[in-house]
Homo-oligomer: A and B are copies of this chain.
Amino acid sequence: MVEKLKEVGLKATPQRIAILRELDKKEHPTIDELYNNLKKTHPSISLATIYKNLNMLKDAGLAIEIIPPSANEKSKFDIYTEPHIHIMCKECGKVFDYYVKNAVDECNTILKEITKHNIENINVLGLITCEECRKKKKN
């Protein structure tokens, strides 16, 4: 994590390293989950620091924000290493990663054909009902 930060020209502070480590667990925390988790090891960490750093990490391409479709739901955060697709459970909000390289490209191609536009980037979020939630619903 220290190297990643230096590569993009950011100081390797303990807080930043901790944030990246936490994101690297791939649990897709919301900001306050991140805050609560980090307080365990960094009791003095402040929310403002987390906000500031998440913005910097996003700008630097080391983190990405997963924005839910309903917008009154909270964003979740993920470490960014290579392009991948996110699937979210519409019941509980849990996020699943799919590191399938050409999936993003395929969707992109389809959009290009339809729109005749040069699609530079796509944001895809698939919505499912996860196993757990499906079970709960049955009862």
Question: Interface of A with B (CB < 8 Å)?
Answer: 65, 67, 69-71, 75, 85, 87, 90, 96, 98, 100, 103, 106-108, 110-111, 114-115, 117-129
Contacts and interface: CB of A to CB of B under 8 A. Distances in A.
Contact of A123 (B75, B96, B121, B125): B125
Nearest to A64: B69
Residue of A71, A103, A114, A121 with highest tally of chain B CB at under 10 A: A114
A129 B120 CA distance: 8
15 contacts: A69-B121, A85-B114, A85-B115, A87-B115, A90-B120, A100-B114, A110-B110, A111-B124, A118-B128, A118-B129, A119-B128, A120-B127, A120-B128, A121-B127, A122-B126
A98 B119 CA distance: 13
Nearest to A127: B121
Contacts of A70: 65
Contacts of A111: 85, 87, 103, 107, 124, 126
A100 B110 CA distance: 11
Contacts of A129: 118, 120
The 5 tightest CB contacts between A and B, nearest first, are: A121-B127, A123-B125, A119-B126, A111-B126, A117-B128
Contact of A107 (B71, B90, B110): B110
